[in-house]
Structure 1
C-alpha cells in the first residue's frame, strides 16, 4: 500500500537535443522516485502516442510543456492523496483516466513518466532495488541480459547511404556482464580506428554507432567483423552480430531496396541466410516489412529455427498485438519499448504475452535517450535475457551498461543471457 503526496514534472532534453519529460513522485512517508522518459525516432502505428505542444515557436512544435501541465493538474488531482494497493492499481487508474487505447489524450509520455517514477518510489519505500521490485510485480526470475551494442548506424538514424538501420555486436561468449561490456567497448574502439583510417571521418548516428558512407549491409558487417578480429576476439563463439533492418523503410518497386538493385522477398531471405553463414548474424529485427505476411512465413520456414526474428513495427509493445503476431507466425521474438506500452504494468503484460507464445523478448532503448537507467533494471527483473541500449559511448547509453555492471556486482550469481 502507498499514498502519493506529491507529483511534479518538467521539460528536459534527450540525447538528440529534443524535449522530453521528467517526473518526480513523493510518497507519504517521504520515499521519492524520479524518472526521465525517452523518445523514439520511429513512433510506429501501434504503440502509445507521445503528446507534443505543437507550438512552432518552441522546439519546432516538439515541446512538452502541455504534458507537464497535464501531469501536475489532471493526473495529480486523480492520484494524490489516494491509497493504492500496488503499482498495477496505479497504472490501471492512469489508463482509465486517459480513456484511449493509445494513450493519446494524456500522452504515453505522461502516463509512463508517472508510472516509472512511482515504481522507483515504491522500490525506495520498500527498501529494495528497483529490479527486485519489478521482478515481484512480474512474477519472474531475474537474469542479467545479453547486451546488444549498436556500433554502425544507417537508415533514419544517420546521414549516410546505408539503408538498414542498426548493426550490433553481442558478447555471446562472455562469462559476465563486465567482461562482455569490456569486449564490446574494445571492439568499438577498434572500429573507430578502422573507420577513421578507411573513411577519413568518424560520423556518428543517433545511437552512437559509426556512420561511414557505405551502402550495402554486407559492407557494415564486414567492417564490424574486421574490427572484432583486430581487437582479438573470435566471431561466432565470442561475438555475435545482429541487425535492425527496419524493412518497412526498405520497401520499393515490389521488393526491397538495400542500396543496390531492388531484391525480391526471397532474394532478401537469401541475403540473410548468407549473412548468417559469413558474418555470424544470429538476430534480425523487422527483417521484412510488417504487412509482408508471405515474407514472414518464408523467413520462419527457412530461418526461424536458426535465426532470432525480432518483430517491432507490427507490435508497438502491445500484448494483444504480440498474441496476434505469434498466432500468424510473424517472427519469434518481441522488441519491448516501455514508452510504447505507456505504463510499467502494460510493459510487463507485453513481455508475458511473448513468453506465453513461446517467443523470446528484448528490452530496448530509444533513439532519443536520457541518463535514466530504468530499462536496465527492467531487463534484469523480467529475465528476458536481452537488452539493446546503443553504442558503448555517450552518457545516455553507457548509463544503462554501467547500471548492469552495478547490478551484477551487488546481486551475486545471476544467470546471464536469454533462458534456453
Structure 2
C-alpha cells in the first residue's frame, strides 16, 4: 500500500554526554509516525559523514539549532509526498542533501522514515528489513572504557567481552552482567572506584593494556566462567587516535607499523581475544593488511574508522585482505540505505557484520532493530550502567521474545 510522507518536524534533544543532538519525526498520510535521533561519536573517522553543528560559544559550539531548522525548512519539503515505504528513494534525496544539512540531520530523518514505515504497516522496524530473521546478533559489551571514551587513560579504547557459550541473547546479557559486577569487585579491592566511562564501562583504573586484560580475565573467572570458552575478550584499539606519520605512540613508547602489529599479536596469543577493531590507523592500509596476515588466525580483524560504513571501501578492503569484519554505523554514512549497502558489501565478500552504537547515544533503540533486521553477527551497544545502553539491551530482549526465541549468531 502507498502511504506518503505528509509532514516532517524536528527538535533539539540531548545525548548521553550532555550534548545536543537532533530528533526528526516523520508523519504519514495514514497518521503513522516514526522518530529517529542521531547519535554522535567521540572517536570518528575523517571520512565519516560530517555533522552540522552551530559553532560559536553556545554549548562549546555543539548546538544543533541550524540542523533543526534545515530539517524543517529543507528536508521536509523535499521528502514530503514520497511513499514512506520507499526508503531508497527518500535516502537518495537525503544523501544528496548531506553536505548542506549535515549527516546528523540525514541520519535522524532516515531512521525516522524507517520507523514510520513500520508503524504504517503495524510492524516493528526490524521486520521492515527482514520479516523472518534467522538469529539474534551476539552482543559485544564494554566492561572497561578507555581511549577517547575515558580521557585517554589507556591507549586502547574499548575492553569488551563477547559471550561464547550462551545460545539466547537474554542469557548472554546475564553472563555479561555477572562479569561486569565481578570486574567491579576486583577494582573495589584495589581501591576507590572512579565511576564509568562514556559507554558505561568501568573507568580504567589500570596501569596499562595488560593490566586491563588481566582484570578482565580475573572478572570472567570470578563470575564462574572460563575465559576463551564461555567468554572471550574483544578490543577496540582505535589506533587512529595515537597514530602518526612515524608509527604509533603508546605511553612513552613508539612503534613502527610492523612492531605495533607484532605487539598486538603478542597480546592476542597471551589472552583470549576474539576480535580486534582498528588495529591500525584509518590511513594505514599496509598496517591493516599486516594485521589480517598476522592476527587473523587468532582474532577477527574489524574495520571501523578504516571503512566508515562505506560499501566501496568495504569491497576494496576485502579484496586487499585488510579486514575480516565490517563495523556498521548509520551515522557514518548518513542514511539507512547507505548502511544497508555496506552490510550487503560485507556479506558479498564473506566478511562478518557488526552493527554498532556510538559513544554519544540516546534512548533511541534503532540499533537493536537494524542489527536484527540486517542479520548482524554481532551488536555492539555499550555497557550496563547507562540508561541509553540498557535501552538497547532491553529492546533486543523484547525483539527476541517477539520472534519466539532465536539462537544467537555463530561466534566468530
Shorter-chain TM-score tier: over 0.9
Q: Deviations over 1:48-74 (max 9, x none)?
A: 111001131x21111111111111111
Q: Distance in 2 between matches of 1:25 and 1:252?
A: 44
Per the alignment, residue 30 of structure 1 pairs with 31
Match of 2:294 among 289, 295, 302: 302
8 Å contact from structure 2 (residues 45, 282) kept in 1 = no
Q: Give unpaired runs (5+ residues) of structure 2.
A: none
Residues 244-286 of structure 1 deviation map (CA, whole Å, 9 limit, x = unaligned): 0111222358332333532343333333333233320010000
1:212 positional shift = 2.9
Deviation at 1:83, TM superposition (A): 4.1
What residue in structure 2 maps to residue 248 of structure 1? 240
More deviation, 402-411/285-294: 285-294
Task: Provide the secondary structure at the position in 1 that maps to 2:286.
Answer: helix
Structure 1 consecutive aligned stretches of length 4 or more whose deviation exceeds 6 Å: none
The alignment partner of 2:267 has SS state of helix
Helix, strand or coil at the partner of 2:177: helix
Per the alignment, residue 51 of structure 1 pairs with 52
Structure 1 residues 280, 338: closer, same or farther in 2, change over 3 A?
same
Does residue 115 (structure 1) correspond to residue 107 (structure 2)? The answer is: no
Matches within 5 A, 1:55-204: 55-56=56-57, 58-83=58-83, 86-96=86-96, 98=97, 103-135=98-130, 141-159=133-151, 161-204=153-196
The answer to whether the Cα contact below 8 Å between 2:291 and 2:322 also exists between their aligned partners in 1 is: no
Q: CA–CA distance in 2 between the matches of 1:223 and 1:180? A: 20
Counterpart-to-counterpart distance in 2, 1:198 and 1:22: 42
| CA offsets 1:76-121 (integer angstroms, 9 cap, x no match) | 111223445611111112223x1xxxx2211111111111111111
Distance, in Å, in 2 between the alignment partners of 1:275 and 1:116 is: 39
**Closer, same or farther in 2 for the Cα pair 1:116/1:162, shift >3 Å?**
same
User: Counterparts of 2:110 and 2:332 in 1: how far apart (Å)?
Assistant: 13
- Give the Å deviation of 1:143: 2.3
For residues 418 and 175 of structure 1, the distance between their equivalents in structure 2, rounded to whole angstroms, comes to: 9
Normalised by the length of structure 1, the TM-score is: 0.93
Inter-partner Cα distance in structure 2 for 1:252 and 1:116: 36
Give the alignment partner of residue 281 of structure 1, picking from 273, 276, 287.
Answer: 273
What secondary structure does 1:262 align onto? strand
Matched, 1:388 2:380: yes
Query: What's the secondary structure of 1:257's corresponding residue?
Result: strand
Q: Secondary structure at the match of 1:105?
A: helix
Query: Residue 304 of structure 2 corresponds to which residue in structure 1?
Result: 312
Contact persistence 2:84–2:117 (CA under 8 A)? no
Deviations 1:341-370 (A, max 9, x none): 111111100111111122111111111000
For residue 101 of structure 2, give the secondary structure of its aligned residue in structure 1.
Answer: coil
RMSD between aligned residues: 1.8
- The number of equivalent residue pairs is 411
Partners of 2:361 and 2:278 in 1: CA distance: 21
- Confirm whether residue 206 of structure 1 aligns to residue 198 of structure 2: yes
1:285-315 C-alpha deviation (Å, 9 max, x unpaired) = 0011233333223222222233210111121
Match of 2:45, SS? Answer: coil
C-alpha separation between the residues in 2 aligned to 1:67 and 1:293?
A: 34
Deviation string 1:158-215 (CA, Å, 9 cap, x unpaired) is 1363111110011111121001100101111111121122132233211111123324
Query: Residue 205 of structure 1 contacts residue 211 of structure 1 at CA under 8 Å; is this kept in 2?
Result: yes
Are 2:227 and 1:235 aligned? yes
Unpaired stretches in structure 1, ≥5 consecutive residues: none
Aligned-partner Cα distance in 2 for 1:83–1:159: 45
* Deviations 1:117-138 (CA, angstroms, capped at 9, x unpaired): 11111101111221110226xx
Partner of 1:357: 349
**Distance in 1 between residues matched to 2:42 and 2:339, nearest whole Å:** 19
Superposed CA offset, 1:31-64 (max 9, x none)? 11112211111231112111001131x2111111
Q: Kindly tell me: are residues 48 and 253 of structure 1, through their superposed partners in 2, closer, same or farther at Cα, counting changes over 3 Å?
A: closer
* CA distance in 2: counterparts of 1:342 and 1:31, whole angstroms: 23
Asked if 2 retains the 8 angstrom alpha-carbon contact of 1:195 and 1:202, the reply is: no
In structure 1, the residue matched to 2:317 is 325
Shift of the alpha carbon at 1:141? 4.3
CA distance in 2, matches of 1:258, 1:284: 17
